[in-house]
Structures are given as structure tokens and as C-alpha cells.
Amino acid sequence: MSSPLLNVQSLQKSFGAQKILVDLNLQLEAGQRISIQGPSGCGKSTLLRILAGLESPDDGTISLSGKAANHKQYILLQPWQRSTQMVFQDLGLWPTRSVLQHVIDVRKASNLTDPKGEGEKILNQLGLGHLLKRRPGKLSGGEARRLAFARVMALEPKLILLDEAFSSLDPDNREQGFEMLEQVLASTGAAVILVTHDPAEAERLGGTAYRMMEGQLSCV
């Protein structure tokens, strides 16, 4: 039997006296979709950052495709070794790089084939083909979000983490965002974890919906 894409066991994290994650368990298969809802400050984003390797837990284990990524507080797989990509709430675009450079850079850094050709293809697919030389500071909100997804798509990750990626969008733009996500998922076949405080977003994503309460996940 093959290993799950993501296997989280007894994950714990505290900030000072405040316990954020308490014995948290989670399993995710390739291509699966899950959403995690919960109020602000309950630890949703911290969980994503730990899964991405950007933060270390206090205890517990994480494995990715059978490989140990964390053991207790030690990071065994670095963020760039996890085949994971994240879309942040404020997108995290690189201000000095043009639209095209965003996708070329990530494909080159990950040794993927034909960075320029594939990059242009992805950008055309997401409707950014006419903005190749523009920098993020000159993009509209919607265009910047598309670029963030194009960057994810260019990397062909196995796991996509969305940290409130559609919050602060009006309903029309949110729907466009989900359509874009569908394109990315169809192209990469990646699994996705969406963190949100909005039940409507969780419903729109589909898959399994969890709620985070007192540091643990429970099915909605």
C-alpha cells in the first residue's frame, strides 16, 4: 500500500503559554482537497507554515509521500525540498521581478524543463500573456492574484497550501479565483489545503471540510 501524500501525527505547537496546536492529526492523499475553517488566531495559518517547513513544531511528526519531513521540533526536509507551494493572503510576489521572470525563475530554480516556453504558456492560460514585462507593483489586485497562482502552477507542486488566499475578495473575484484554482489543480494534479474563516469558500472548494477548535481538527 502506498504512503499518503501527507501524514501528520500528534502535532503540537505553543506560543509561550498559549497552546496553538494540540495533538493534531491529519492525512491527505494525492489530489485530495480539504478546507480548514476557524476563527482568527486559532492556529490555521501556523499549521500551514509548519506543513510548508517555514516554522518548526514543538512535537509530533510530519511525513510527505512517506519521507519524514519533521520529527519533534527538528525540520528534516527544508521548505524547498517538500514539493509544496503556498499562496499567501498578501500573495508574496517579488517586487523586483517581472511577471514572466516570476515563472521563469521558479522553473529554473527547480530544474524544470523549458522555463521560458512553459512559463509563457502558463501565463497565457491564466490571462497574463499581455503583461509579461510588468512588475507586481503595476498589476491590479486580480492580476496579481493570477500571477501568484501562475507561480504555483509553474512549479508543479504535489501539495498546494492556500492561506486565506481568497479572503478580502468580492464574490465575483472570489469565483474567478476558484476557477483559476481549478485550472491549476487540473494542470498539476496537486492536493490542496485551503485555510479560511468563510464557510462559503470551504463549500466552494469541495472535498473534506474541517473545523479547527482548541488546537485540533474535527470534521464539519
Partner 1 sequence: MITWLNTRSPRPWWALALLASLIAAWIPLAPILAPLVRIDRLAQMLDSRTAMLLWRSIWMSSGAGLVAIFLGWPYAIMACRLRFPGAGLFKLLMPLPLLLPPLMVAQAWFGLTGMTGAWASIFTFGVCYAPLPALLASRSLAYQSAAAHESALLIGPGFAIGEMLRISFLPAMIGACFAFLFAASDFAVPDYFATVGDLFHVYAAEIFGNSRNYDYAAGATSSLPLVLLGFLVLLGTANLQRRQMNFETSHGRSATGLNLRTGQFFSSGLCLALIVVLLLAPLGRIIYETGMQGPLSERSWSEVSSAAFHDAVTRGRDDVLRTLSYSGLAGLMCLVLAPLWAHMLLKSRSIRRFALMIGVTLPLLVPSVALGFGSILMFNQPWLENFYNSIWLPALLVAGRFLPIAVWIMVERMGRIPEAQEDAAALAGCGYLTRLFRYRLGPVRSAWWLAAGLVVAFGVRELDFAILLPAANQSAAVRYYNALHFSRDNFVAAYGLVLAILLFLPVMLFAWWRNLRPSQA
Interaction site with partner 1 (CB under 8 A): 49, 52, 54, 78-80, 82, 84-86, 88-97, 105-106, 109-110, 135-138, 151, 155
Q: How far is the CB of 152 from partner 1 (least distance, A)?
A: 10
Output 57 or 209, the one with its CB closest to partner 1. Answer: 57
Strand order in the sheet with 191-196: 84-87, 159-163, 191-196, 33-37, 208-213, 216-219
User: Using CA atoms, how far apart are residues 186 and 214, in angstroms rounded to an integer?
Assistant: 34
User: How many Cα atoms within 13 Å fall on the side-chain side of residue 151?
Assistant: 25
Output 37 or 84, the one with its CB closest to partner 1. Answer: 84
Output 164 or 201, the one with its CB closest to partner 1. Answer: 164
Q: How far is the CB of 106 from partner 1 (least distance, A)?
A: 5
Q: How far is the CB of 103 from partner 1 (least distance, A)?
A: 11
Q: How far is the CB of 218 from partner 1 (least distance, A)?
A: 28
Output 154 or 185, the one with its CB closest to partner 1. Answer: 154
Output 94 or 169, the one with its CB closest to partner 1. Answer: 94
Q: How far is the CB of 164 from partner 1 (least distance, A)?
A: 11
